[in-house]
């Protein structure tokens, strides 16, 4: 089966939806998303979006905070561009129907929160469910737009490029690598559909599921990075995996984040004896940058042998806590924890990929007609460590810029017909009766990534991880060509590639910087490593 469209968007989080709404002004857009439309990392984002609105704040303050957080690797021109375009993008969200929290003293002023690493209050939020509100409003606009079709339970397999077509015996007219869509698995019907498009956008989010413990939803398996890299896009800075310092530690809780805003509003970290420990690690104490806080907690747990530390905001008025953090308060109550009266048990967990597919200021990947937006991309904004609440901001700015450039691309490519593309050929593949191979390899990857390529690393651990992932890659390759594709198999294939990219980048960087901490090279080395780690296929 073949479907043609002007724009193909892979992913239904904030990045993909913003692009789709802009692009739909000039053509037909199809969004494919591998589960339910709202099952995205955006939907789970609690804190908010960093942007300058307060009179005591300035672009220069926000730029400086971002640069300091990025530990020397941010691209300053990109940081300045994103920060300065931020307020306009926030206002655009409001025009789309997003309801942000306002100050209680009345008026139209937004209520601005504060989070770790920020020198001023600048977090635009909807209490503690900002992402949910953004996703709701954007999906409402998407569903009302006649030029946009959203297909749930459709998972992209691989991109259709000039090289793909040539390998399949079709003569390509382009002289440089070009993307013409993707092969996509219709999960419910078990068939592979050929989607042909003039512009293709990767907006698939991050890859937290490559680790045993993560704040990410189950969809975060690095699909976009893996597909783009297989197609020939360069990946960069994959060693910089941000571990959020405070995820709820409870046997029945799954992937539940305790927002950084809790510390921004006065929450403090305690050990099992009730001792505040962050003052021993950084002058900003509990509001230090995420890499420092996560590493400090990891060290405290290794010293004490405890399973968790505690985040305490119970000293603040109960009414304030319930009003500012209604979702966190209600969720913790379900697990028997009253955050107005007792501390919250927390542990670090994989949260955000600062690296990804290398893009320029317009989200272009280096392959014609192919864009990458949101967490799937490495734009130069985050450097070695993302500043809290800069991720949704990045998605807003780059999605808008990508759409503006893609509209020009699409208009230039709209004169001729789309190329012929062969339908998916399963060959002699059969249904698998050995799914245990998939589950076993998935579990092994997540465990050795957590143990060997986690918050603190060594060269020996990285070598062990590399040996294991290469063996698993070979097993997956054999399995992939012998059996019909399923969502679980595709996710495993992508996760294995993501693991290999993280290990490769981490092994190359012979220093400690930001989110990458190697005990064998504990110092930052600007003479040799003040640069991005770039990996090509």
Residue 169: pLDDT band with limits 50, 70, 90 = low
Q: Per-residue pLDDT averaged across 323-349, rounded?
A: 95
Say what the pLDDT of residue 523 is: 97
Whether pLDDT at 213 is above 70: yes
Residue 418: pLDDT band with limits 50, 70, 90 = confident
Whether pLDDT at 271 is above 90: yes
Cα–Cα distance measured from residue 347 to residue 344, given in angstroms and rounded to the nearest whole number: 10
Say what the pLDDT of residue 18 is: 98
Residue 414: pLDDT band with limits 50, 70, 90 = low
User: 70 near 514, Cβ under 8 Å?
Assistant: yes
Say what the pLDDT of residue 166 is: 78
Query: Which of 477 and 195 is assigned the larger pLDDT?
Result: 195
Mean per-residue pLDDT of the chain: 93
Residues marked active site are found at 290
Say what the pLDDT of residue 206 is: 96
Cα–Cα distance measured from residue 236 to residue 234, given in angstroms and rounded to the nearest whole number: 7
133-142, 190-199, 346-355, 417-426, range with the lowest pLDDT:
417-426
Say what the pLDDT of residue 164 is: 80
Q: pLDDT by residue (tens digit) across 50-91?
A: 999 999 999 999 999 999 999 999 999 999 999 999 999 999
Q: Which residues are CB-contacts of 326 (< 8 A; sequence separation ≥ 6)?
A: 127, 128, 129
Say what the pLDDT of residue 426 is: 79
User: 51 near 396, Cβ under 8 Å?
Assistant: no
Whether pLDDT at 174 is above 90: no
Whether pLDDT at 254 is above 90: no
Q: pLDDT by residue (tens digit) across 471-530?
A: 999 989 888 887 888 999 999 999 999 999 999 999 999 999 999 999 999 999 999 999
In 3D space, the residue among 333, 337, 294 whose CA is nearest the CA of residue 516 turns out to be: 294
Say what the pLDDT of residue 171 is: 62
pTM of the model: 0.92
* Parallel/antiparallel/unpaired status of strands 344-353 and 241-248: antiparallel
Enter the tokens of residue 131. Answer: 């992402």
Residue 458: pLDDT band with limits 50, 70, 90 = very high
Most confident of 164-168, 257-261, 491-495: 491-495
Query: Residue-wise over 231-260: b if at least 16 C-beta within 10 A, else e?
Result: bbbbbbbbbbbbbbbbbbbbeeeebbbbbb
171-180, 328-337, 371-380, 450-459, range with the lowest pLDDT:
171-180
- Using the 8-state DSSP alphabet, how is residue 84 labeled? H
Q: In the chain, what are the domains?
A: 2-239+354-413 (3.50.50.60), 248-349 (3.90.700.10), 436-535 (1.20.58.100)
- Using the 8-state DSSP alphabet, how is residue 215 labeled? S
Whether pLDDT at 324 is above 80: yes
Cα–Cα distance measured from residue 219 to residue 365, given in angstroms and rounded to the nearest whole number: 23
Say what the pLDDT of residue 302 is: 87
C-alpha separations of 322 from 258, 290, 328, 430 in Å: 14, 25, 9, 54
Q: pLDDT by residue (tens digit) across 130-154?
A: 999 999 999 999 999 999 999 999 9
C-alpha separations of 30 from 145, 371, 394 in Å: 11, 15, 23
Query: Which of 176 and 104 is assigned the larger pLDDT?
Result: 176
Q: Per-residue pLDDT averaged across 112-124, rounded?
A: 93
In 3D space, the residue among 200, 225, 236 whose CA is nearest the CA of residue 78 turns out to be: 236
């Amino acid at each position: 089966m073949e479907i043609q469209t002007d724009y193909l968007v892979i992913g239904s989080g904030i990045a993909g939806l913003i692009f789709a709404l802009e692009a739909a002004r000039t053509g037909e857009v199809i969004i494919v998303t591998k589960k339910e439309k709202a099952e995205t990392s955006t939907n789970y984002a609690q804190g908010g979006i960093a942007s300058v609105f307060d009179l005591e704040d300035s672009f220069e303050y926000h730029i400086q905070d971002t640069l300091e957080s990025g530990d020397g690797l941010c691209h300053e021109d990109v940081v300045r561009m994103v920060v300065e375009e931020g307020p306009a993008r926030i206002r655009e969200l409001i025009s789309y129907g997003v309801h942000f929290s306002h100050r209680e003293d009345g008026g139209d002023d937004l209520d601005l929160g504060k989070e770790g690493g920020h020198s001023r209050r600048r977090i635009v939020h909807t209490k503690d469910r900002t992402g949910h509100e953004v996703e709701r409003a954007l999906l409402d606009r998407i569903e009302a737009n006649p030029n946009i079709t959203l297909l749930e339970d459709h998972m992209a397999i691989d991109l259709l490029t000039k090289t793909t077509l040539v390998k399949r015996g079709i003569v390509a007219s382009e002289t440089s690598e070009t993307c013409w869509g993707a092969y996509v698995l219709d999960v419910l019907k078990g068939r592979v559909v050929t989607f042909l498009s003039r512009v293709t956008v990767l907006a698939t989010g991050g890859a937290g599921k490559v680790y045993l413990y993560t704040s990410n939803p189950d969809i975060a398996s690095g699909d976009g990075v893996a597909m783009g890299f297989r197609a020939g896009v360069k990946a960069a800075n994959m060693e910089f995996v941000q571990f959020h310092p405070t995820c709820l530690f409870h046997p029945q809780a799954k992937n539940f984040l305790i927002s950084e805003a809790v510390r921004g509003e006065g929450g403090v970290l305690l050990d099992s004896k009730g001792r505040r420990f962050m003052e021993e690690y950084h002058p900003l104490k509990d509001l230090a940058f995420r890499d420092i806080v996560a590493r400090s907690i990891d060290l405290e747990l290794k010293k004490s042998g405890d399973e968790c530390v505690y985040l305490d905001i119970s000293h603040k008025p109960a009414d304030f806590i319930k009003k500012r953090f209604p979702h966190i308060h209600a969720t913790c109550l379900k697990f028997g924890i009253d955050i107005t009266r007792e501390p919250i048990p927390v542990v670090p967990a994989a949260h955000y990929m600062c690296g990804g597919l290398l893009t320029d200021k317009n989200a272009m990947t280096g392959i014609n007609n192919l864009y990458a937006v949101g967490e799937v991309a490495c734009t130069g904004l985050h450097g070695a460590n993302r500043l809290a609440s800069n991720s949704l901001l990045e998605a807003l700015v780059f999605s808008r810029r990508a759409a503006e450039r893609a509209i020009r691309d699409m208009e230039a490519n709209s004169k001729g017909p789309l190329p012929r593309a062969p339908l998916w050929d399963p060959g002699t593949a059969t249904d698998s009766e050995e799914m245990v191979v998939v589950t076993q390899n998935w579990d092994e990857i997540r465990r050795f990534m957590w143990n060997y390529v986690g918050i603190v690393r060594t060269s020996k651990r990285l070598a062990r991880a590399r040996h294991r992932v290469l063996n698993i890659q070979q097993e997956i390759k054999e399995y992939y060509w012998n059996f019909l594709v399923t969502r679980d198999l595709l996710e495993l294939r992508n996760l294995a590639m993501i693991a290999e990219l993280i290990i490769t980048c981490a092994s190359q960087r012979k220093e400690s910087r930001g989110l990458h901490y190697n005990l064998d090279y504990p110092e930052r080395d600007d003479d040799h490593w003040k640069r991005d780690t770039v990996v090509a296929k």
